[in-house]
Amino acid sequence: MKKNECIKCSVSQCLHNLVTEDYCSLSSISVGTHESDPTVPECTDCNSFVKRDGCCQ
C-alpha cells in the first residue's frame, strides 16, 4: 500500500485507507453525492470506498 499524499482520508473502515496515517492509498478516487442539491460536505460521498473485511459488522 502506497500513501497518496494528495488524498487525505480518515475513513479507517475503508480497504484503501492506510489506517496508520490518515491517507488514501489509491492513485485517484471518485467523489459523488447522494443529494439532488448538495450544500455541505456531508452531502458528498467517496464512491471509491470498499468495506474492509472484519469491520462495519
Q: Give me the residues that bind ligand SF4 (CB under 6 A), please.
A: 7, 9, 11, 14, 16-17, 24, 26, 29, 46, 48-49
Q: How far is the CB of 34 from ligand SF4 (least distance, A)?
A: 14
Strand blocks (E) in the chain: 4-8, 23-24, 31-33, 44-46
- 11 vs 43, beta carbon nearer ligand SF4: 11
Q: How far is the CB of 2 from ligand SF4 (least distance, A)?
A: 12
- Read off the DSSP letter of residue 15: T
